[in-house]
Amino acid sequence: MTEPYTISRRQVLNIAAGAAGASITGAAMMIGTSAAQAGLSKQAAKYQDQPKGDQRCDNCTSFSPPLSCKLVDGTILPTGWCARWSKR
Protein backbone atom coordinates (compact mmCIF):
# COMPACT_ATOMS: atom_id res chain seq x y z
CA MET A 1 0.00 0.00 0.00
CA THR A 2 1.25 3.50 -0.76
CA GLU A 3 1.71 6.14 1.87
CA PRO A 4 -0.57 9.19 1.73
CA TYR A 5 1.00 12.39 0.44
CA THR A 6 1.71 14.82 3.26
CA ILE A 7 2.20 18.54 2.99
CA SER A 8 3.84 20.68 5.64
CA ARG A 9 2.32 23.75 7.20
CA ARG A 10 5.15 25.82 5.68
CA GLN A 11 4.26 24.59 2.17
CA VAL A 12 0.58 25.47 2.71
CA LEU A 13 1.49 28.98 3.87
CA ASN A 14 3.84 29.51 0.91
CA ILE A 15 1.16 28.41 -1.56
CA ALA A 16 -1.46 30.64 0.10
CA ALA A 17 0.87 33.66 0.12
CA GLY A 18 1.71 33.16 -3.56
CA ALA A 19 -1.95 32.85 -4.53
CA ALA A 20 -2.89 35.98 -2.56
CA GLY A 21 -0.07 37.96 -4.17
CA ALA A 22 -1.08 36.85 -7.64
CA SER A 23 -4.72 37.81 -6.99
CA ILE A 24 -3.79 41.28 -5.76
CA THR A 25 -1.43 41.88 -8.67
CA GLY A 26 -4.03 40.74 -11.22
CA ALA A 27 -6.74 42.93 -9.70
CA ALA A 28 -4.45 45.97 -9.67
CA MET A 29 -3.56 45.44 -13.32
CA MET A 30 -7.23 45.18 -14.33
CA ILE A 31 -8.15 48.35 -12.42
CA GLY A 32 -5.28 50.25 -14.00
CA THR A 33 -6.22 49.12 -17.50
CA SER A 34 -9.89 50.01 -17.22
CA ALA A 35 -9.13 53.39 -15.64
CA ALA A 36 -6.73 54.25 -18.43
CA GLN A 37 -9.23 53.30 -21.14
CA ALA A 38 -12.29 54.97 -19.63
CA GLY A 39 -10.64 58.33 -19.00
CA LEU A 40 -10.23 59.48 -22.61
CA SER A 41 -11.58 62.98 -23.19
CA LYS A 42 -13.62 63.89 -26.26
CA GLN A 43 -10.85 66.22 -27.39
CA ALA A 44 -8.17 63.52 -27.08
CA ALA A 45 -10.37 61.09 -29.06
CA LYS A 46 -11.11 63.78 -31.68
CA TYR A 47 -14.84 63.24 -31.08
CA GLN A 48 -17.35 65.04 -33.32
CA ASP A 49 -21.17 65.01 -33.32
CA GLN A 50 -21.34 64.16 -37.04
CA PRO A 51 -20.45 60.79 -38.59
CA LYS A 52 -17.44 60.32 -40.84
CA GLY A 53 -18.97 58.63 -43.87
CA ASP A 54 -20.51 55.36 -42.74
CA GLN A 55 -18.43 55.41 -39.54
CA ARG A 56 -20.83 56.26 -36.72
CA CYS A 57 -20.74 55.64 -32.99
CA ASP A 58 -23.80 53.37 -33.15
CA ASN A 59 -21.91 50.90 -35.37
CA CYS A 60 -18.70 51.01 -33.29
CA THR A 61 -17.61 48.22 -30.94
CA SER A 62 -17.12 50.66 -28.05
CA PHE A 63 -20.54 52.38 -28.18
CA SER A 64 -22.82 51.73 -25.21
CA PRO A 65 -26.44 52.70 -25.92
CA PRO A 66 -28.10 55.02 -25.42
CA LEU A 67 -25.49 57.79 -25.06
CA SER A 68 -22.12 56.52 -23.84
CA CYS A 69 -18.87 54.90 -24.90
CA LYS A 70 -16.49 52.44 -23.24
CA LEU A 71 -13.47 54.53 -24.24
CA VAL A 72 -14.58 58.18 -24.32
CA ASP A 73 -16.00 60.18 -21.39
CA GLY A 74 -19.19 62.21 -21.59
CA THR A 75 -22.36 62.06 -23.63
CA ILE A 76 -21.77 60.31 -26.96
CA LEU A 77 -24.34 60.64 -29.71
CA PRO A 78 -25.18 57.57 -31.83
CA THR A 79 -24.49 59.70 -34.92
CA GLY A 80 -21.10 60.88 -33.65
CA TRP A 81 -17.60 59.72 -34.57
CA CYS A 82 -14.10 59.66 -33.02
CA ALA A 83 -10.61 58.55 -33.95
CA ARG A 84 -11.06 55.37 -31.84
CA TRP A 85 -13.90 54.12 -34.07
CA SER A 86 -13.80 50.38 -34.74
CA LYS A 87 -16.32 48.53 -36.90
CA ARG A 88 -18.79 46.35 -35.02
Residue 36 scores a pLDDT above 60: no
Same domain, 24 and 3: yes
Q: Percentages helix, strand, coil for the chain, rounded to the nearest 5?
A: 40, 15, 45
- pTM for this entry: 0.56
Q: Which domain holds residue 13?
A: 1-38
Same domain, 54 and 11: no
Same domain, 50 and 23: no
2 — phi, psi (to 5°)? -90, 150
Lowest mean pLDDT among 32-36, 60-64, 66-70: 32-36
- Higher pLDDT pick, 31 / 16: 16
Same domain, 29 and 11: yes
Lowest mean pLDDT among 23-37, 51-65, 70-84: 23-37
pLDDT, residue 39, reads: 72
3-state secondary structure of 21: helix
Structural domain total, the chain: 2
Same domain, 13 and 28: yes
Report d(CA 41, CA 46) in Å as an integer.
9
